[in-house]
Structure formats: C-alpha cells, structure tokens
Amino acid sequence: MDFYRDPAFLVNTISSWLKEKILDSGRSGGIVGLSGGVDSAVVAALLKRVCGERMLAVMMPCHSAEEDHLDALKVVQAFDLPWIRVDLGRVYDDLLDSLPDEIADDNGIHLSNIKPRLRMTTLYCLGQKKNLLVCGTTNRAEMAMGYFTKHADSGVDVLPLGDLLKGEVNQVAKELGVPPDIIKKPPSAGLWPGQTDEGEMGVSYSEIDRYLATGMASPGNLEVIEGAIERTSHKRVFPPACLIEKGSRVGQG
C-alpha cells in the first residue's frame, strides 16, 4: 500500500533507536521472546544487527505447536542467533493445579493469558541476570486494537515495532532476510490450536493498517476497529492512582 514507508529507512531508523535505548539503559544488549512469528523474527534480527552476540532469543513453549518451535529455529539459523529454550508447560500446569477447580476447569481466556504472563516473567528474569533490555514485539496495529495481553506483551522495556503497521513489519522482514514462510504464516498468538489474530479481532490487518494510516475503513470494519480502540484504551495507559487532595491531612494534636 502506498502509505507504507520505505523498509530500508525503517530498518536503519529502528536500529539506531535500539542502539541508543540500550546505551541509555546501561544494559549490554537486548533480549526477545522468539515465537516463530514474523514480529518476533524482525525484533530478533534487528537485535542481532545492533548487538551482535550481546543479545538473546528465548523460545518459551507452553503446550505450543511443534510447528512454532520449528519456525523459531529457522529464524535462529537464518540470523545465527544466540538462543535458549525455556519450556513453561510444567509451570503452567502446576499453576492450574493450584487454582480452584471452578477456575482451572473453565478453559477460558483467563487461563490462556497466563501463558504470555509467564513469558514476561521469564524474559525479565533472564534479562536482569544477563544485563539485557527486554524488547517487545507488539506492532502499531496490535497496540491500537489492544490485541495484546496486559502485563505480558506490554510488560517490556522497549517496543521497536510500536510505530510500524503490520504491512510494514512484513516489508521490514523481507528487507532483513526473514525466511519467506515465516512472513507468509497466518499471524497467531498461539494461545490455543487454530487461533489466529485476524479471526479473533474480526478484521484483517490490511484494514487496520488502512484505518490507522488514512482514517478510512468500510462501515462494518470501522465499527469493529473503533470499538476495539475505545474498549481497550485502559491497556495503553499507566494504571490510574487515587489522588488525595492536599488539604485533607489530619491535624496534629
């Protein structure tokens, strides 16, 4: 689409920005969760470009599809990434076993969201130990739609893709040399079998991109997009604090 920016320009701009943020933070490099999808592949490739060996890609399966692990390995091989695998399946199962049966047996989104929150905890544990900045993979379209788990995908130090439309992420992926089958893979958070981003949001990424870039969308999609933006506004702000008026102190007797 003609509103997408030049991918080479985006690669250079984000690389410079990442280098600056890592330097300002006093960290030695960056860490990212590698899911097997295009967003995390792009962030991992950018980190390798900026940090060399001073970065870490972390695979964190939690009863995940084997295909995702194999796709993540393709990214590791394509960019020669330093990486580790931390299997969170047993931790997840142990937590469910500790919950009341009526909670653990419900099989709702409240349980699926445990998985990305465990990944956030893992990344911060490793990042603090290894002096690495935690880099998120959420893009502008996901941010706008609120399509991320609060205190999970948003629980990061920096968002290198936070101003990139989904189509721009794909173009940057091509510019960096991400394997084509990773770019073509239907976007999915991998929360349950068969789950896809677009199916869950009820609108395509191309329509979200068009709306964010131009303010235009078909009537049905416009309602879905603007409804999601309004409904998820709490995810994009710091938690509100109860502010007490200054004149309310109890006098000293």
pLDDT at position 187? 84
The stretches in the chain having pLDDT less than 50 are none
Return the closest-CA partner of residue 68 out of 177, 153, 197, 187: 187
User: pLDDT per residue over 49-95, tens digit each?
Assistant: 999 999 999 999 999 999 999 999 999 999 999 999 999 999 999 99
Going from the N-terminus, what domains does the chain have, and what CATH number goes with each?
Answer: 7-201 (3.40.50.620)
Q: What are phi and psi of 135, to 5 degrees?
A: -105, 125
Q: What Rg, from alpha-carbon coordinates, does the chain have?
A: 20
Outline where DSSP puts E strands in the chain: 29-33, 55-59, 83-85, 132-134
If one counts every other C-beta atom within 10 angstroms of the C-beta of residue 253, the result is: 3
The vertex-147 CA angle with 19 and 243, nearest 5°, equals 80
Task: Provide the residue type at 75 as one letter.
Answer: V
Distance of CA 162 to the CA centre of its chain: 9
pLDDT at position 1? 72
pTM (2 d.p.): 0.93
As a residue count, the chain comes to: 253
79, 65, 209, 145 alpha-carbon torsion, rounded to 10°: -120
